[in-house]
Amino acid sequence: MSPRWLRVLRLWRVRARRRLQLWAAPLWRLNTWMLLATAALIGFEGLEVLLGTFLMAPELLPVALLALAVFWACREGVGRGIHRLLSRVRALRRR
């Protein structure tokens, strides 16, 4: 059996975490929507610049498509790598 002060500390930590989650969830959602709106705006402007460039220099279209494909493949690989790393860290914590 753990000492009383340790149990009280754990209880206080659980309550503090729940209160923080109640406050943080709406702020996190708002932050997510702001980031999505910003990405959409930048993405739209980037698409406009990309299409404008293709109108002026259409011979660069294959190069740009190849660059986008490489970027997408790298992004997917990095995402899978991070996911694998986090799952290994969780497995080590359980031991």
Q: Is there a single domain that holds both residue 95 and residue 64?
A: yes
Q: Is there a single domain that holds both residue 62 and residue 51?
A: no
Residue 30's pLDDT band, with cuts at 50, 70 and 90, is: low
Q: Is there a single domain that holds both residue 3 and residue 37?
A: yes
Domain housing 70: 58-95
Query: Under 8 Å CB-to-CB from 54, ≥6 apart: which residues?
Result: 60, 61, 64
pLDDT at 28: 67
Query: What is the C-alpha to C-alpha distance for residues 61 and 67, in angstroms, rounded to an integer?
Result: 10
Q: Is there a single domain that holds both residue 46 and residue 74?
A: no
The number of domains in the chain is 2
Residue 84's pLDDT band, with cuts at 50, 70 and 90, is: confident
Q: Model confidence over 12-26: pLDDT tens digits?
A: 888 888 887 777 777
pLDDT above 70 (res 1)? no
Q: Is there a single domain that holds both residue 36 and residue 26?
A: yes
Q: Is there a single domain that holds both residue 63 and residue 50?
A: no
Is-contact 10 24, C-beta < 8 A?
A: no
Q: Model confidence over 35-82: pLDDT tens digits?
A: 777 777 777 777 677 677 778 888 877 887 788 788 877 777 777 888
